[in-house]
Structure 1
Amino acid sequence: FAAIAAIAATWVTYFAALFLNFGDFARFTPDTKALKKGNIWGLPVNLILFSLVAAITTAAASKVYGEVILEPAEISAKFDSAFLVLLAALTFAVATLGINVVANFVSPAFDFANVAPKHVTFRRGGLIAAVIALLLYPLHPWDNAPSFVNAIGSTMGPIFGVIVVDYYLIRKTQLNVPALYEEDGEFRFQGGWNVRAFAAGVVGAVFSSILPVYGPSGYGAALGPYSWFIGVVVAGVLYFAFSRGKSPHTARTAATEAPETTEV
């Protein structure tokens, strides 16, 4: 059970990084109904079918070749048919391209474009992300996949915790949309920086990064897969405590007419 739970936590951490990308795709949905439909087909249904195919393929390969082979490429390398080998290679290429466009291209392209919208377009942002990826490739930080995923989770978790608490608990799902485009509106925070959010995120990252490694003897390895969850809880609780009693609206906004709100 502990092993299955650790694997499940690693899966959640892996996909949790895409939670922060969600707005980059949700902005193009025509309505909430389409959004929910896409989530159902794209997440639980797709993941269950994918897992079933992977399990059946691995089990069948162990019967045919007499050994458990976990790498799909190694299974396809044993095919006697050149056509099947080429088909498998094409499938791997398309799958790799698809997941990288979703996870590693769209979001950073928007991020770089948002930093300097006058100079960086979506296309230029994507090219910048691609160059950075090429520079990082020789380092191969992802060779140890679980450790790499948990390292990402230790920083993504606190950010996710702050966002969820701010939207659902502090703002009660009511977002002042016009203020997003006001230079001195409520989202100006402290000189342009939300100090409370940064403080909670940093402390959460410290806990999620250090506790699994330097925690109580014998617990470090066990806590490793749950670094994302640790970061979410610690950063979320701290941000709620820091923001308690503080209205998200500025005095200037409160003094004028009620701001237009929308529920996302």
Structure 2
Amino acid sequence: MAQRNDYLKSPDLLPISYKDRNIGALGFSVIWVGMAIVLAAFAIGAAGIIHLSMPILILATLVGSLTIGVFMVMIGDIGVEHGLSFPVYMRAPFGTIGTHLPSLIRGITASCWFGINTYFGALAINGILNILFDFDNWFVCFLFFAGFQLLNTSLGIKSIERFADLAAPIIILISCWMYVTLADQATASGKNVWTWVESPTTGMATFTAFMIVVMANMGFWATLAADMPSLSRFFKAPKHEKNWFKRNKTQLIGSLIVMPIVNTFMIVIGAVCYMAVSSGDPVAALQQSANGFILAILLLMIVLAQWSTNTSANVIPAATIFSNIGGPKVPFWVGVVIAGVIGTLSQPWSLFDILNSVLLIIGGILTAIVGIMFADYYLLRKRRLNVSDLYETTGQYKYMNGFNLAGLISWIIGGIVANLLPTYSSLVGFAVGALLYFILAKYWWFRKYPQKEITDPNDSEYLGITAGRDWVISPYEKPVTVSPELSPNLSAKTVK
């Protein structure tokens, strides 16, 4: 029978073993195609083209996408190396109880994104049904679409990859058709898509507009940058590989090549959408530029795009976080339902109009967390972790009643400073969070609460896949680790 102090060992939050990591470079790439084709990105393009020409908008988007992509890959190594999800790792820089505070922010944010994407998908479904059957009730479509997405996510990561394999090529083809159609419509109205700017700016005003697009793109993906371990723990990687780049090949291809390309294409479509119909709402734009069967096919692309984005980028991370907060009594599928309920109650149909402003705020808050994770994982622990203690209520990560004050203070100050400088919010949040945490943890907090992986820098003891190790955690007993290569005849077991 489970003991009261075993709430940290929910089965859904245990480390992923080497044999269960089944997402390769191609699989992650098609997942990224689905995630990056998201209609909310159109709002960034629509807002950016007001003050920037298309080439400058593309440059700003690539800068923002590549920068946040680097953050994703760096933090994603936590999942690749140790098989850990975001909320479990956060017990190290925030404490076994403190982890719930930033995790809850991430979970609620992901749930709201789920709601926004589901809303756009529902509008598209409603449009299709209206064309085919003269049906018109978007809220019923919203509830129907939300339920199917939550069911798909509950079936697990392989179900999501299979869906992405199916959806990705369809989405790419229809996206290209969509761009051509809207660009032709903009050209017909006398606008050159590569030179037109609604309100041209010069000097610092242009640079500010450029940086706002960069920060909006970073803020757009900051949630996933912090939470990448929840996905990367499923990625294939070679054992005993000490080369960081080779070990993270799956991530590098997906986050630094596929994502920037696809994300930039979505921003471009948002820009030509604004040129064509003076709106960044793609559903409205399509309904003005197409009709009949062609419109139904285009709207289907919107449905597939929102579905594939939500499962990987929003519902999985949110459900994992809610499962962590609730312990063994809240399995993953219950976390999925909670994410769906929050996403609906957020009234996403009211959020789209203020999206860019919200992205700058979210970017600063969440990249401060990314900075703290970077400093904790790379600068202080040197990628080593005492993983078994992450699942112990009385272990080294208990700190002061379950809280790491160095992490909490750094997060609060980093988030505040970032939002005092909104034009650079994501970069400021990362830098302040990382620097402040490094100083507070190294020279104050870890002197009060010594960390074994820092005082005993033994790679073979505290590294995961690099040392050929699977972390084996029992839900109800004290954990041990097993290194199959070193002890081939030793089976995974626990000791009381």
TM-score using structure 2 length: 0.45
1:27 equivalent in alignment to 2:237: no
SS at match of 1:28: coil
Asked whether the equivalents of residues 320 and 332 of structure 2 are also in contact (C-alpha less than 8 Å), the reply is yes
Aligned position for 1:55:
268
In the TM superposition, 1:214-229 aligns within 5 A as 224-229=422-427
C-alpha distance in 2, partners of 1:259/1:179?
16
Aligned position for 2:224:
18
C-alpha distance in 1, partners of 2:402/2:338?
25
Aligned position for 1:243:
441
Change (3 A) 1:170 1:84: same
With 113-122 and 29-38 compared, the bigger mean Cα shift is at 29-38
Asked whether the equivalents of residues 185 and 250 of structure 1 are also in contact (C-alpha less than 8 Å), the reply is no
Deviations 1:202-252 (A, max 9, x none): 11122223x13xxxxxxxxxxx2322222222222111111224367448x
Change (3 A) 1:136 1:244: same
Change (3 A) 1:26 1:87: same
**Comparing both chains, which one has the higher relative contact order based on Cα–Cα distances under 8 Å and sequence gaps of 6 or more?**
2
Asked whether the equivalents of residues 159 and 201 of structure 1 are also in contact (C-alpha less than 8 Å), the reply is yes
* Structure 2 letter corresponding to 1:95: A
Aligned position for 1:118:
328
With 36-45 and 49-58 compared, the bigger mean Cα shift is at 49-58
Change (3 A) 1:54 1:258: closer
C-alpha distance in 1, partners of 2:328/2:292?
50
Change (3 A) 1:84 1:182: same
SS at match of 1:31: coil
Change (3 A) 1:228 1:82: same
With 107-116 and 29-38 compared, the bigger mean Cα shift is at 29-38
Change (3 A) 1:79 1:139: closer
Aligned position for 1:158:
368
Change (3 A) 1:166 1:42: closer
Change (3 A) 1:49 1:29: closer
Asked whether the equivalents of residues 7 and 225 of structure 1 are also in contact (C-alpha less than 8 Å), the reply is no
* Structure 2 letter corresponding to 1:14: F
Asked whether the equivalents of residues 177 and 262 of structure 1 are also in contact (C-alpha less than 8 Å), the reply is no
Overall identity of the aligned pairs, in %: 25
C-alpha distance in 2, partners of 1:87/1:11?
28
Gap regions ≥5 residues in structure 1: 213-223
Asked whether the equivalents of residues 161 and 235 of structure 1 are also in contact (C-alpha less than 8 Å), the reply is yes
Within the candidate set 152, 164, 172, 2:382 is matched to: 172
SS at match of 2:330: coil
Within the candidate set 356, 369, 381, 1:146 is matched to: 356
Change (3 A) 1:199 1:259: farther
C-alpha distance in 2, partners of 1:72/1:60?
7
C-alpha distance in 2, partners of 1:148/1:60?
22
Gap regions ≥5 residues in structure 2: 1-205, 239-245, 466-496
TM-score using structure 1 length: 0.80
Q: How many aligned residue pairs are there?
A: 247
